[in-house]
Amino acid sequence: MPIRLDTRTPDFTERFRAFLGTKREVSQDVAQAVARIVEEVRQRGDAALIAFSRTFDRVDLATLGIRVTPQEVAAAVTQCDAATLEALAFAHGRIRSHHERQLPESGRYVDAAGVELGHRWTAVDAVGLYVPGGTAAYPSSVLMNAVPAKVAGVERIAMVVPAPDGVLNPLVLAAADLAGVDEIYRVGGAQAVAALAYGTETIAPVAKIVGPGNAYVAAAKRHVFGTVGIDMVAGPSEVLVIADGAQNPDWIAADLLAQAEHDTAAQSILMTDDAGFADAVIAAVERQLASLPRREIATESWDEFGAVITMASLDEAPALSDRIAPEHLEIITEDAEALVARIRHAGAIFIGAHTPEAIGDYVGGSNHVLPTARSARFSSGLGVLDFMKRTSILKCGPEQLRALGPAAIALGEAEGLGAHARSVAIRLNL
Amino acid sequence: MPIRLDTRTPDFTERFRAFLGTKREVSQDVAQAVARIVEEVRQRGDAALIAFSRTFDRVDLATLGIRVTPQEVAAAVTQCDAATLEALAFAHGRIRSHHERQLPESGRYVDAAGVELGHRWTAVDAVGLYVPGGTAAYPSSVLMNAVPAKVAGVERIAMVVPAPDGVLNPLVLAAADLAGVDEIYRVGGAQAVAALAYGTETIAPVAKIVGPGNAYVAAAKRHVFGTVGIDMVAGPSEVLVIADGAQNPDWIAADLLAQAEHDTAAQSILMTDDAGFADAVIAAVERQLASLPRREIATESWDEFGAVITMASLDEAPALSDRIAPEHLEIITEDAEALVARIRHAGAIFIGAHTPEAIGDYVGGSNHVLPTARSARFSSGLGVLDFMKRTSILKCGPEQLRALGPAAIALGEAEGLGAHARSVAIRLNL
């Protein structure tokens, strides 16, 4: 059973704080093992990739090849169901259109002192995309990571995906093909991250690595951060549904379960001002669980981490929601927009009864790579800006240097940086 | 003497690659020591801060207090030189004006299918600002880190700065006061980062930590990344000056030394198409070094890491510059803008003979926190966006759900996520 909280009970504050502090993942300390793997790949290149893949993925890359060939990709595409490929292409088109609107503008201006200032956005040259293997190999995630990079203008996207027992998911290859991924390598784990960061004989190094992975992949990204850029380190996923009593309990239950089925560490939370409705949703969850293919995972997630929070008024919801800072927030109430306006920390907001979060996962057009585990307090979902960087531009003429120079000299001297001061003074004959 | 390369020699490619690979910092492996410090602060809070400060900073915070009082700040301001305070205020005004232009716009639109998409930018609630102690305590850095946060709308900025032997730099406190820093704590090192990330009895936790520091601070930021956001991990600083033979060698030499005086690991590079001019700059550097207050540091940097690259034509410069991806790039040539247009990877570009980089360090208005050590290939200088995050917004009505739903169901089923598919199907009575 999920935990039940009510804002009107005297111990709510205490219990809500404890709830926020719940650890949903055992953090494995794999940093040392990962450091060794990374060093090995740096030293031995392809040979290390082949050795690690033999051990961890039971696959012989010396025979099979590290790189997936265009022929293999083409063969995989022919294996895929036509209707699924069509859905993938539909999703791809919508994701691309939406992300094209995120392209930033470069520009310059001249300020009152005559100083010219500005910035210019340019794409990262080469990006590595990590795709998990096994059951978590999702073609939709390939689109969500590769499309913003393509839209940003990244010239080279290199994808790595482990091939346990030699097997790759054909739909993952089809999605990569659709999104314009340039190179695909059948390696995974910390060794794949190391190869992308430092390069091997077969894999040229990239400048930034994105994509989700297990504890080893996360630790490897943390390890190579600085040498290359990385995206956020993904944690377990969550949804918060704020709903009033006028909603269909079955719809809300379905949304809670769509989150719970991801992972036993996933979290589904309902907030409502109607205790009877809360009971109805809980009953609907139980009913729907019975016929769910992934019922074991969903049941464990719901029982361990699920929560139902009732309150006197939905007016209380935004403040509580901000403390959770949910990755996904559904607001399904009569005056949803009024609540939306009051939310500050959320990865994505899904508004109204006809926007289940699964629409955003696949075909809404917005990105499904979102900040998890309360990190929406300080970070954003993946987007085009993550694959670009900004160069700032400054230009003074003699007059501007005369106007600004004395203050720069004063500060340089105050900081004990005499050469800084001199580089200005020498131009002003001071 | 700096290394000299010429693109016309047969071994240039090889030597340039070796030059790019030069390690300028011994990377200290302090990860384990830092992990212990962080854990200690999480467990024991203020008591750990007091103990570590006694050991590392030789200061008794149990007596002196962890928090710097408003009275201490006011007293520090009165100690500062009036002309320096005026220069600081001038810099503050220019930095604020420029950063105000970086505020992003939120927005929504309705696409051809009638789906409403959008995003909303909001500020991070609370930010921690790390300021190094000792000689590297720069008031200008306080402004460069705090002002973008203020402009973004951050409600709480908590600054930490070590007080070795109890001493704080009055100008650093004055800069914090000017920039509107809300709280100042006299703690530094990994223990200060841990306190900001997890909180203690005295220091409330923040959502993001920015600011430069030594190897321990960098490792601590890497360690707490995920629990809080962090900015980039700063490496040694560098400047590349691209100049033609028509320039004043003394001005160029001064700019190279302004970089070299920062740190023995700093790097100053000149690229020119005029070998005689290169000789003149090298001679000017030698002359100017003699009278430089920080000549020992600058000499070591110039001798160890300085470089002068001559070439047949400045046309070769942009491609070589992009491989260096310099933090600071000065372009001082006749047709500088033509070269500027061809640069892809640089933290900041300073255009023309009257824009020495030191102007950008203090009073230009742009930020001086820039990507170092080749990280301009994948990251940007600090700005307002670093203190904000984007919430994506999606809204479908019944008609849009009917149009998009079937593709979402197909993809959910293809990924084996039955509850995802059901959350859409149940609304469409499928």
Q: Could you report the per-residue pLDDT of A232-278, keeping only the tens digit for each?
A: 877 788 999 999 999 999 999 999 999 999 999 999 999 999 999 99
CATH topology of domain A31-105+123-230: Rossmann fold (3.40.50)
Q: Round to whole Å and give the CA distance between A396 and A92.
A: 45
Distances in Å between the alpha carbon of B142 and those of A66, A354, B79, B176?
48, 48, 18, 6
**DSSP characters for B343-393?**
--S-SEEEESTT--HHHHHHTSSS------TTGGGT-----GGGGEEEEEE
Spans of all domains in chain B: 3-24+235-364, 31-109+120-230, 396-425
| Bridge partner list, A349 | A329, B393
- Inter-chain touch A351–B292, beta carbons under 8 Å: no
Neighboring chain B residues of A81 at a CB cutoff of 8 Å? 414
pLDDT digits (tens, 9 = 90+) for B362-398: 999 999 999 998 999 999 999 999 999 999 999 999 9
What pLDDT does residue A136 have? 63
B115: nearest CA in chain A? A364
Computed from CA positions of residues A277, A279, A282, A288, in that sequence, does the dihedral angle turn out positive or negative?
Answer: negative
Helix then strand count (H, E) for chain A reads 18, 14
- Residue B278 reports pLDDT greater than 70: yes
pLDDT band at B233 (very low <50, low <70, confident <90, very high): confident
Please tell me the number of Cα atoms within 13 Å of B408 on its side-chain side: 32
Residue B262 assigned to a binding site:
yes
- In angstroms, what separates the C-alpha of A205 from chain B's closest C-alpha? 12
What pLDDT does residue A232 have? 82
Helix-, strand-, coil-residue percentages of chain B, each rounded to 5: 50, 15, 35
Residue type for position A422: R
Phi first, then psi: give them for residue B135, nearest 5 degrees: -70, -25
Residue type for position A79: Q
What pLDDT does residue B133 have? 85
The mean pLDDT value of chain B amounts to 96
What pLDDT does residue B207 have? 97
Could you check whether A31-105+123-230 and A235-377 share the same CATH topology?
A: yes
- Residue B28 reports pLDDT greater than 80: no
Give the length of chain A.
Answer: 430
What pLDDT does residue A135 have? 58
User: What does the block give as tokens for A261?
Assistant: 């089925």
Nearest by CB to B396, which of A111, A233, A355? A355
Q: Is A327 a catalytic residue?
A: yes
Neighboring chain A residues of B389 at a CB cutoff of 8 Å? 345, 371, 376-380
The domain B3-24+235-364 having CATH identifier 3.40.190.10: the answer here is: no
Q: Round to whole Å and give the CA distance between A197 and A200.
A: 9
- In angstroms, what separates the C-alpha of B135 from chain A's closest C-alpha? 8
**Number of Cβ within a 10 Å radius of residue B166:** 14
Neighboring chain B residues of A383 at a CB cutoff of 8 Å? 390
Among A92, A98, A99, A328, the one annotated catalytic = A328
- Inter-chain touch A98–B84, beta carbons under 8 Å: no
* Positions of chain A with pLDDT under 70: 26-27, 134-136
Asked if B117 and B111 touch (Cβ cutoff 8 Å), the reply is: yes
pLDDT digits (tens, 9 = 90+) for B56-84: 999 999 999 999 999 999 999 999 999 99
pLDDT band at B29 (very low <50, low <70, confident <90, very high): confident
pLDDT band at B102 (very low <50, low <70, confident <90, very high): very high
What average pLDDT score do residues B212-232 get? Answer: 91
What pLDDT does residue B32 have? 87
User: What does the block give as tokens for B129?
Assistant: 């600002």
**Number of Cβ within a 10 Å radius of residue B201:** 11
Residue whose structure tokens are 């930033």? A104
Strand order in the sheet with A126-130: A183-185, A156-160, A126-130, A208-210, A229-230
DSSP state of A364: S
User: What does the block give as tokens for A311?
Assistant: 């309150």
Q: For the domain B31-109+120-230, what is the CATH code?
A: 3.40.50.1980
Indicate the burial class of B109 (C-beta count within 10 angstroms; 0-12, 13-18, 19 or more): exposed
- In angstroms, what separates the C-alpha of A28 from chain B's closest C-alpha? 14
Among residues A157, A124, A126, A103, the alpha carbon closest in space to that of A384 is found at: A103
What pLDDT does residue A31 have? 84
Indicate the burial class of B56 (C-beta count within 10 angstroms; 0-12, 13-18, 19 or more): middle
- Most A CBs within 10 A among B411, B427, B429, hence the mutation to make, goes to B411
Strand order in the sheet with A388-395: A107-110, A116-123, A388-395, B348-351, B328-332, B238-243, B267-272, B307-310, B3-6
- Most B CBs within 10 A among A156, A208, A415, hence the mutation to make, goes to A415
pLDDT band at B136 (very low <50, low <70, confident <90, very high): low
CATH topology of domain A235-377: Rossmann fold (3.40.50)
What pLDDT does residue B118 have? 97
User: What does the block give as tokens for B290?
Assistant: 């003699």
